[in-house]
Chain A
Amino acid sequence: MDIYLLEAIMNGVMLGGLLALLALGLNLIFGVIDVVWICYAELVMGGMYAIYWLHAVYAWPFLLACAVAIALVALFGLMLHRLIIEPILGSAPINQLLATGGMLFFLQSLATLLFGTDFRNVGIRLPIIELGEIDLSFARLLAFITALVGALGLYLFLARTYLGTAIRAIAQDREIMGLMGVDQRRIYLITSAIGGGLAGLAACLLVLQYDVHPFIGLTFGPITFMICVLGGLGNMFGGVVAAFIMSQIISIVGYYFSIEISYVLAFVLFIVLILIRPQGILGR
């Protein structure tokens, strides 16, 4: 087998991990609150800027910067729900999507306003691992492993804890759970904070591989939504599977043709798949 193709496939697996992590938080919010945070990738961007400033400018230790960034984005997610989503929870779902679209505009241009359009690098160079003849970036491997651990952690949280059970129950039946004594509002706020925290976690990993700039959200945002929908909204496992399918398409087609063609194909595939299986690839 062509060694470069193998490398492309391996890189696809790594990218899949990252996309799966990105999709995880969005999927949680999608599934539980039934709201699309169209600004989700911009939250990730916010986390990346936080890490950049804390680590590269104020010279905080990287892990501490990451922890603070995760907390900040989680807080932001909570505020986003409390201030913007909550007042319009009763109106048409599309309004909630559009309101977060306004937040996308706001965050993107606020970043431009504050930091300019420069590409900023956090300045950490992780080694390249040589696996036989294949070069593998350690940063990507780290992202892949963290994504899997994050997915597992979220799964355990949802499956094993009382709070997790309440979150899953709310996702299944909003009205009845209120009568069973579950405080829906509180669950929504917690879910939003966890979703934000996952965006922060994704930021920690992205910042190791990519320069941060105000429009980085547009690079990852659309593909993340497609993955969530393909996996079946709110279906965590489906989201992970969809992330790996999409990332393989992007890497392999990108290897044979160009990266733009690979994204075109990924989006076309999304459109076709959603028309064939609107419930997602793993939906019933």
Chain B
Amino acid sequence: MTGTRMAAGAGLAALVALPFLLPTDSYYLHIVIQVLLLGLIYTAWGFMGRFGLVSLGHGAFMGVGAYTSSLLWNLYGVTPWLGIPAGMALAVLLALVIGYPCFHLKIVGHYFALVTLALGQVVALLIITARDVTGGSLGMTPRAVGTSWLAFQFQDRKQFYFVALVLWLAVLGVRAWASRGMRRAALEAIGEDETAAEAAGVNVLSEKLRVFVISAAITAAGGSVFAQYIMYLNPETVAGVGISLQIVFAAIAGGMYSALGPTVGALLTLSLTEFLRVMFGTHFIGAANTIYGVLLILFIIFMPRGILGVIEHRLVRRAPPATAPAE
């Protein structure tokens, strides 16, 4: 346990020191910020995915968050400090509207996946339809005002880095808090066998709903902040089937059962994309996704617990049981 704590402390210190070690406005810092922001979205997906709630429509929540805060800012000048919670609230509402009947009627497995897939399509199509305000498929840009806390815009990458780091840590905290002790046992029981869990006294409906709502809220917030960072929104990049599947892939590849797994997935996928882009240029457009696809298939077949899951499994087996990490 102390070993884990020390490792976590050292990791945190390294993360705080990182922007000072890299040159200002460095390309690598840009990548790390994206890893943190996408990592927290993937973590939110894995938060429900690991209990058997596979959503193929998380792009919907990302899109709701990103478009709500950006539209409120552009149209009415409402600060993202209010816009982001508004987007989260909307995502929560959406999750409740979809989740309550689904869980109440015990819609699970691929049925649930297909319902969320339809939800993702609905949100993406609505964004395209409302092209008068959202710019449709061409996308939109939040009105830029330079560095401003009020507008949640930071010209200096270092500042944005710390914003992203704090958010990412907060999400890890929420993940740990929401799945501690008996809660975790109850949720794992649901993932294994819902009927048995119900019989054992677990309130399956409310537990699943809670997980779904938390996941949706974090994803919406992540979508908003990601849009604030990239300063460009497009139904393809923040909603729709493509991004939804990308979330699923990265979370699984990294390991959705581990706390840091989805972030490792974000690191892996972003590095791969950037590496291929730098190596081959835009000529090999699509090369990254070809490799993603093959990797996703291989991961599902050979290591469904993901990279970090496999590493942790090895560590736990090697270490004496008393010092095995709780996560």
Task: List the interface of chain A (C-beta within 8 A of B).
Answer: 36, 38, 84, 87-88, 91-95, 97-99, 101-113, 117, 214, 218, 221-222, 225-226, 229, 258, 260-261, 263-264, 267-268, 270-271, 274-275, 278
Contact = CB atoms under 8 A, between A and B. Distances in A.
Nearest to A114: B286
A92 B112 CA distance: 14
B151 to A, nearest CB: 31
Contacts of A222: 117-118, 121, 241
Interface of A is mostly: helix
Given A97-B110, A275-B102, A110 B249 contact: no
Contact of A274 (B109, B115, B122, B285): B115
Contacts of B56: 38, 101
Contacts of A274: 107, 111, 114-115
Contacts of A98: 54, 248, 252, 296, 300
Contact of A93 (B110, B122, B295): B110
9 contacts: A91-B304, A95-B300, A103-B293, A112-B285, A260-B126, A267-B118, A268-B122, A274-B107, A274-B111
Contact of B118 (A91, A92, A218, A270): A270
B197 interface: no
A226 B113 CA distance: 11
A172 B107 CA distance: 21
Which A-B residue pairs are the 5 nearest by beta carbons?
A106-B293, A102-B296, A112-B286, A109-B289, A105-B293
B297 A113 contact: no
B152 interface: no
A84 B293 CA distance: 12
A101 B293 CA distance: 8
A270 B125 CA distance: 15
Contact of A103 (B54, B107, B109, B297): B297
A226 B118 contact: yes
A94 B52 contact: yes
B286 A99 contact: no
Nearest to B97: A271
A102 B292 contact: yes
Contacts of B293: 102-110
A118 B112 CA distance: 35
Contacts of A261: 129
Contact of A275 (B107, B242, B285): B107
Nearest to A111: B286
Contacts of B286: 108-113, 214
B301 interface: yes
B294 interface: yes
B125 A267 contact: yes
Contacts of A264: 122, 125-126, 129
Interface string B267-287: 000000000000000001111
B202 interface: no
Contacts of B301: 84, 87-88, 99
Contacts of B36: none
A233 B242 CA distance: 25
A49 B174 CA distance: 47
B290 A106 contact: yes
Interface in B107-143: 107, 109-111, 113-115, 117-119, 121-122, 125-126, 128-129
B172 interface: no
B245 interface: yes
B54 to A, nearest CB: 5
B169 to A, nearest CB: 29
Contacts of A278: 105, 107, 111
B173 to A, nearest CB: 28
A102 B295 contact: yes
A102 B301 CA distance: 11
A110 B125 contact: no
Contacts of B146: none
Contact of B296 (A36, A105, A214): A105
Contacts of A117: 285
A43 B102 CA distance: 30
Contacts of A106: 289-290, 292-294, 297
B9 interface: no
Contacts of B115: 270-271, 274-275
Which of B54, B107, B285, B286 has most A Cβ within 10 Å?
Answer: B286
